[in-house]
Amino acid sequence: MNKKELFLSVMRNEKPTKWMGYAFDAFPPYKFHCVIDPISVWDILQFSGERFVDNWGVVHRYLPEDPGIIPMVNDENKVIKDITKWRDYVHFPEIPELDWSDAKKQIDQLDRENTFVMVPTFRGLFERAHCLMTFEDTLVYMYEEPEAMYDLFGAYTDWKIKAVEQLIDNLHPDVIHSHDDWGSKTSLFFSPAKFRELLKPHYERFYGYIKKRGVLIQHHADCYCQGLEKDMVDLGVDMWQGVLPTNDIKAIQKNVAGKILLMGGLEQAVIDRADATEEEIRAEVRRAIDEYAPGGSFLPCIGSIECINEWVTPIVIDECNRYGAEWIKKNS
């Protein structure tokens, strides 16, 4: 079996487990393990600096020392001043004619037999909302003005579907990497009932479109999402990437019954430290494999995909593959 086939065998929870290794081994060796497409560049990745305003009118910061692009939204600069009048404030940017040649070159350089072509779609529904207004506004409005929030999420879903349609038409990916954190490290941002009321119906449309096009869905949420795992199954999510060990991963494995691949399991506070030792890093990888691999549909990886301390990532990858092979021998 090649790398893609081995990955799919784990995703499908085939028994006995045929492979255990770094979850992204069968994905592109590019940033985020994705082919970087022109929509992502135009929408967010083109920007950097102490302060910049994106195509949506949102203020951000992105400096070399930052872990990512950070929304700098406050009461003075927020786009949506009054959620009941959001249509007066939000202007959905028209995606311009873009040059897809660089992304296609990235794909041409890949061994398609062994590598999934994955493209990203950043800023999920909840994340876009708390870019257009403050984080506090977003949560308060979900409870105090649910109808307006429902309509905002729906309008943004329409825009997302148009964007993903272009991604699929131009790049024909195997996987869409969709980004939306629904919790902190230790809890959800909202109740499961509120998720099902306001977000799930729109994700049914969004992810339903992707599945209809024959593309796998990797939902990135490096946070606590326990309580929503069955909803992810309902939505057709194939992989939950970024599952943190603050979730009860063993309980989640039982709940999803092999219907979704859990990618993560590593405690980043242990491994991604400037003063971490190599043995600490390797021991955390071994712990995750020993603890979660027996439950099936699990592959270890860094929740945030890349460590802030860049020297850590190669050690994690090496130990995932080294100890993963050892684990397979012991458990075959």
Average pLDDT, the chain: 96
> CA-CA distance, 46 to 144, in Å (whole number)?
35
Q: Is the pLDDT of residue 266 over 90?
A: yes
Q: Is the pLDDT of residue 42 over 90?
A: yes
Q: Is residue 58 part of a domain?
A: no
Go through the chain and tell me how many residues it has: 332
> CA-CA distance, 56 to 45, in Å (whole number)?
13
Structure tokens at 195: 């998720």
Q: How far is CA 320 from the centre of its chain?
A: 20
Structure tokens at 298: 């699990």
Q: How far is CA 311 from the centre of its chain?
A: 22
Mean pLDDT for the stretch of residues 162-176: 98
Structure tokens at 92: 């959905």
Q: Is residue 299 part of a domain?
A: yes
Task: Identify the bridge partners of residue 176 per DSSP, sorted by sequence position.
Answer: 119, 217
Strands 261-265 and 298-301: parallel
Strands 59-62 and 49-53: antiparallel
Q: Do 19 and 6 contact (CB within 8 A), yes or no?
A: yes
Q: Is residue 136 part of a domain?
A: yes
Reported as a single tens digit per residue, the pLDDT across 192-226 is 999 999 999 999 999 999 999 999 999 999 999 99
CA dihedral for 29, 33, 36, 37, sign (positive or negative): positive
Tell me the CATH number at 185.
Answer: 3.20.20.210
Q: Do 175 and 118 contact (CB within 8 A), yes or no?
A: yes
Mean pLDDT for the stretch of residues 71-84: 97
Residue 65 confidence (pLDDT): 83
Q: Is residue 91 part of a domain?
A: yes
Boundaries of domain holding 297: 3-40+69-331
pLDDT band, residue 11 (cuts 50/70/90): very high
Mean pLDDT for the stretch of residues 244-258: 97
Residue 95 confidence (pLDDT): 97
Reported as a single tens digit per residue, the pLDDT across 317-327 is 999 999 999 99
Residue 84 confidence (pLDDT): 98
**Which stretch of DSSP H or E encloses residue 218?**
strand 216-220
Residue 46 confidence (pLDDT): 87
Q: Is residue 64 part of a domain?
A: no
Q: Is residue 47 part of a domain?
A: no
> CA-CA distance, 312 to 295, in Å (whole number)?
27
pLDDT band, residue 48 (cuts 50/70/90): confident
Quick one: angle between helices 312-331 and 278-292, nearest 10?
40
pLDDT band, residue 187 (cuts 50/70/90): very high
Q: Is residue 256 part of a domain?
A: yes
Range list of β-strands (E), 79-179 = 118-121, 175-179
pLDDT band, residue 291 (cuts 50/70/90): very high
Q: Is residue 300 part of a domain?
A: yes
How much is the pTM?
Answer: 0.97
**Cβ count near 185 (within 10 Å):** 14
- The total number of structural domains in the chain stands at 1
Mean pLDDT for the stretch of residues 176-195: 98
Q: Is the pLDDT of residue 68 over 90?
A: no
> CA-CA distance, 289 to 10, in Å (whole number)?
13
